[in-house]
Amino acid sequence: MRTLLKRSLLVALVFGLTWAAAIWYWREHDRTPDTDALLLYLLVLPLLILLLIWLGNFLVGMLMAAPATAVAADVAAPAAPPPAPALPPLGVLASALRVPFGQSAAALAEALAEHSIRAALDPELVDDEGFPVMSARVADADDRAMQEEMQAWLPDNGFPALQYNAEQWRALTLAGAALAELAAHASLHRGLGSGSGLAAPPPLQLLLLWQAGWNVEQRSAASLWLRELVAREGWPREAVALDPELAGTASSATPAALIQRLMRQSAAGHPVLAIALAFGSHISEASVDDWAAKNELLTTKQGQGKVPGEGAAGLLLADQVQAALIEHSAPVQLSALEGKREASADAKGRTDASVLRALATRVLQEGGVGAEHVKLVVADTGNRSSRVMETMSLAGALLPELDSADELLQVGSASGTCGAVPFVAALAVAAHQAATLNAPVLCLSNEDPFRRCAALVRPATVLS
């Protein structure tokens, strides 16, 4: 549009100057032009000038390109390595959410679509000046009965009584509720039971994404407790595989890294059946005080701060074979890519969406989906303007046909800051919407200062 406008202005300028010069000449010399003169000076001459301008630009471009062409001919560039083959997508069989504005992907998607999500003043948390802070709190995250049951269970399973802080107890409560829902769905596997006539299912991988602050003992004990909850829903306890990296030691794993690892397993011919679960909570005075000391808390003075949040979000993932043994086919398929920014998104400066755009472009290409087929974007973007502008910049450049008001959903505003929960929740919403719209959905992650992720969620039966 901008190029067309420039060209139109150039044509108008050339014709205007030519006509003005011709009329001035005729008036100064008191001449009345005949038909041939009118055609020559008012039509042919301006067209000839425009042709000369075009030829000049063409020749200048050729001359400027010649040196680069000569250098390229003299120095042979090394052959680019062939692109790695795209990994097979995973089937998303179910999702489970426990976030402030939705106990399911459908409920959260509806709240986001209606723009009814607003962080509220917390009834308990206050800042350094005694004013209430904004938070995203889950009403039923404090379950004393669950805490007592787990504390009684730990000594009987080789663990002494461990101390968990208020945030960790809230996170475990939410995680247990979401995990039970996913485990119940996994237990529909037709290979369970001696009378099924089918081979036993592969181990159910329990992949846990921890918020920072859990030590080794706390992770190990909580992992076994969560495995116990899976067993209570009907899956054999001995057939639940806990990833040692995630269960017992500090890990920098991300949802995208886990998805890619499972995709590689599937590509290598290994069966894939897994629950990926993220959970966390920053609903405590400890987090508020820590963020306030670092000037990271959202306050009236710090409009770009973070909102304390909490929640749990999980996905039941499988390859095509395992999906068919639980459902006839996976409702939607998921693939993901991850990258990293060179500069922190928290640094001041111009919004840079280049990494996010490159990842989104590549995940669409590998999925065989044209950008014009994407009907919705779901992101873990929260309230900070740098993240909002980055997401909108990506959507405007890659998907200009989408309505940023109704077709760009930002899950971070529903969950606040709580580790990997917002992105897994965004994936759950994307899976629900892809099945509902019967169209591909692009899912983005840009809340972390450096890490960026783009995921494609598409109906298994829809091809671009």
pLDDT tens figures, 13-68: 777 777 777 777 777 776 777 777 767 667 777 777 777 776 666 554 444 434 33
Same domain flag for 17 and 139: no
Same domain flag for 195 and 222: yes
Confidence of residue 263 (pLDDT cuts 50, 70, 90): very high
Q: What is the pLDDT of residue 383?
A: 85
27 inside domain: yes
82 inside domain: no
CATH at 400? 3.40.47.10
Same domain flag for 105 and 63: no
87 inside domain: no
Same domain flag for 283 and 365: yes
Same domain flag for 324 and 437: yes
Q: Which domain holds residue 52?
A: 2-74
394 inside domain: yes
Cβ proximity of 294 and 304 under 8 Å: no
304 inside domain: yes
436 inside domain: yes
| pLDDT: which is higher, 57 or 201 | 201
Nearest to 430 by CA among 375, 393, 362, 385: 375
**Exposed, middle or buried by CB within 10 Å (0-12, 13-18, 19+), for 51?**
exposed
Read off the pLDDT of residues 138-154 as tens digits, 9 standing for 90 and up.
988 999 999 999 999 98
**Average of per-residue pLDDT across 90-119:** 91
Cβ proximity of 280 and 447 under 8 Å: no
Same domain flag for 236 and 296: yes
Q: What is the pLDDT of residue 63?
A: 45
Same domain flag for 9 and 153: no
Same domain flag for 116 and 48: no
Residue 72 in this model has a pLDDT that exceeds 60: no
Share of the chain above pLDDT 70, in %: 86
Alpha carbon distance 200, 162 (integer Å): 36
Read off the pLDDT of residues 286-316 as tens digits, 9 standing for 90 and up.
999 999 999 999 888 888 889 999 999 999 9
**Structural domain count of the chain:** 2
Alpha carbon distance 172, 181 (integer Å): 14
Same domain flag for 227 and 135: yes
Same domain flag for 125 and 27: no
122 bridge partner residues: none
Same domain flag for 298 and 411: yes
Same domain flag for 58 and 114: no
Cβ proximity of 278 and 313 under 8 Å: yes
Q: What is the pLDDT of residue 196?
A: 64
Q: What is the pLDDT of residue 65?
A: 39
Q: What is the mean pLDDT of the chain?
A: 84
C-alpha 336: how far from its chain's center?
9
Question: Of 48, 74, 100, which residue is a domain's last?
Answer: 74
83 inside domain: no
